[in-house]
């Protein structure tokens, strides 16, 4: 790994500590109780998923100041993008874009653009899957995110344990908990 990437690795590590220290109490508390909330929630899995996304939007509006992620930066749209059956149903219902009748075989899609990437911008941003929402870089620049570079080291990404546990809980509550790559399903 070259010096620039080493520095970025250190930046991401430090930045993740700063985010946790500065996270407003009201958000930290709600994040800590998230799984309990969804466990006791009376709604169906789709309602819970929307609720989780809404909380993530709120949390990430605070995190925004610590990340180089911004509109027009689409490096992570060339990675493998996992999507659950529940999220497929959400996208179909919200956008009226239907899944392919001939899904592709499972494969690695790294380096292939997501079918929803149009002119460098996500065309279903409001309804994008969890994978895309939780991929938040904490490096100073987005240099490491390039699909050719992201495998060169272990870079700290933003992680909130209760968000991840809540997501896993919600998608398993759905009758079908299958996971795909987004390119298998939408073409
Ligand atoms: S759904 Fe949108 S954000 Fe996610 S990989 Fe596709 S284009 Fe990128």
Work out how many domains the chain is built from and give that number.
1
Residues 6+ apart with CB under 8 A from 166: 34, 35, 37, 38, 48, 52
| Gap between the terminal Cα atoms of the chain | 35
Range of the structural domain that residue 78 is part of? 3-185
Confirm or reject: Cβ of 27 under 6 Å from ligand 1. Answer: no
Q: What is the pLDDT of residues 134-181, one digit of tens each?
A: 999 999 988 888 898 888 778 888 889 999 999 999 999 998 999 999
Question: Distance, CA 111 to ligand 1 centroid (Å)?
Answer: 13
Alpha carbons 7 and 167: distance in angstroms, whole number = 32
- Report pLDDT digits (tens) over 44-90: 999 999 999 999 999 999 999 999 998 889 999 999 999 999 999 99
Report the DSSP pairing between strands 82-84 and 179-181.
antiparallel
User: How much is the CA Rg of the chain, to the nearest whole Å?
Assistant: 17
Provide the pLDDT for residue 1: 67
Q: Is the pLDDT of residue 185 over 80?
A: yes
Query: Is the shortest distance between the CB of 185 and ligand 1 below 6 Å?
Result: no
């Amino acid at each position: 790994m070259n010096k620039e990437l080493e520095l970025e690795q250190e930046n991401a590590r430090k930045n993740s500590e700063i985010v946790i220290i500065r996270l407003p109490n009201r958000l930290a508390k709600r994040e800590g109780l998230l799984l309990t909330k969804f466990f006791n929630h009376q709604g169906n899995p789709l309602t819970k998923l929307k609720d989780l996304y809404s909380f993530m939007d709120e949390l990430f509006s605070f995190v925004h100041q610590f990340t180089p992620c911004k509109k027009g930066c689409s490096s992570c749209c060339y990675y493998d993008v996992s999507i659950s059956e529940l999220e497929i149903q959400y996208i179909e219902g919200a956008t009226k874009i239907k899944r392919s009748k001939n899904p592709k075989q499972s494969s690695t899609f790294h380096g292939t653009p997501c079918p929803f990437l149009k002119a460098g911008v996500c065309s279903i941003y409001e309804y994008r899957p969890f994978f895309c929402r939780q991929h938040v870089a904490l490096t100073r620049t987005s240099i490491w995110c390039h699909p050719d570079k992201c495998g060169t080291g272990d870079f700290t990404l933003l992680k909130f344990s209760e968000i991840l546990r809540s997501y896993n809980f919600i998608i398993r509550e759905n009758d079908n908990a299958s996971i795909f790559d987004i390119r298998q399903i939408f073409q």
